[in-house]
Amino acid sequence: MHATMKAARAHNLLAAFAVSWVSTSNGQEVPTNITKEDLAKDNKLFLRLAGKALKWEEPEEPVKIAGPLHFVGTKGLGSYLFVTSEGNILFNTGMPSSGPMIVDSIKKLGFKPEDTKLLINGHAHSDHAGALAYLKELTGAQVAIMREDVQAIEDGGKDDFHYGWDWKVMGFPPCKVDRILRDGDTVIMGEVRLTAHHTPGHTRGATTWVANIVADGRSLTVAWPDGGGFNPGYRVAKNPSYPGITEDYRRTHHRLEMLKPDIFLGSHCEWFGLEEKKQRAATEGVKAWINSEEYRRFVARQKRAFEDQADREMGVPAPMEKQMTK
């Protein structure tokens, strides 16, 4: 098989599990002999390959996105700071190693980490909740988490339906939760209003956050879709990873389809093209981040990937296979 075809195969393999791969044109070594079974059986391999290729633990220059909203994450993982007149909100904390990088980014933007009053999260996995405990201790901020993910946050991932058995590899420092959220709850601080939508699937408490902000005199809706992707080893239909996961995913995809944000961001930076948007924003400003059509396509891809996986588990032939059997 040609090298570029092998690289594309590796890219598609991880992309199918809501984690894109980086091609060799970006200077990264892309394994060409991995299978989805390899990734499902070896969580350490999955973390190592995804983390390296997608630059989860590499620092990134922070940037103002729009109004009170700023990017303070790593090259591969999205963390966001809302700056308000009543204190700041930090959304997602990346890997356990990300805490000091996020603090440095906040300082580079001219803000004080100790002004952070609230920490929120998309879901209870180590690549997004890894530094919650570190930042809570550093800032004294309260932590608000969707009810179904509270136990996993507080025990460092032991309660996770898929990774709990391997928490020594996939877990993170436990963090005490101060506020338990339920579907539709809002967080209001200063000029920022955030709504927490319970969108389970990826974890039982996965949360899609929607923010209402004002930038340059314009009201904007910003969405961080969560819960719609699945990782290596998830069972979404036959012998499901947890009872009701199939229905959860389908309700989540439908709910995500109903949202119509002006700006689409995410917990993984390749979802929304961070680097390209930062470059455009240097000349276009806020306009560079407005991407409602990209959001629609993203949700459609996740829904299609889920239904294809469900079909495979149930033994339903792929469309091409159906045509060949006619």
Question: pLDDT tens-digit profile of 207-241?
Answer: 999 999 999 999 999 999 999 999 999 999 999 99
Kindly report, residue by residue over 149-159, the tens digit of the pLDDT.
Answer: 999 999 999 99
Secondary structure (DSSP) of 120-157? E-S-SSHHHHTTHHHHHHHH--EEEEEGGGHHHHHTTT
pLDDT at 37 over 70: yes
Domains and CATH numbers, the chain: 3-48 (no CATH), 55-319 (3.60.15.10)
pLDDT at 55: 96
pLDDT at 11 over 80: no
Active site residue ranges:
123, 125, 127-128, 202, 234, 268
Kindly report, residue by residue over 163-209, the tens digit of the pLDDT.
Answer: 999 999 999 999 999 999 999 999 999 999 999 999 999 999 999 99
Would the CA dihedral through 267, 209, 288, 132 be positive or negative? negative
pTM, entire model: 0.90
Beta-bridged to residue 240, according to DSSP, are none
pLDDT at 5 over 90: no
Cα 294 to Cα 30, 254, 266, 297: the distances in Å are: 26, 17, 12, 5
Beta-bridged to residue 90, according to DSSP, are 81, 119
Mean pLDDT of the chain: 90
Residue 70, CA atoms < 13 Å, CB-side half-sphere? 23
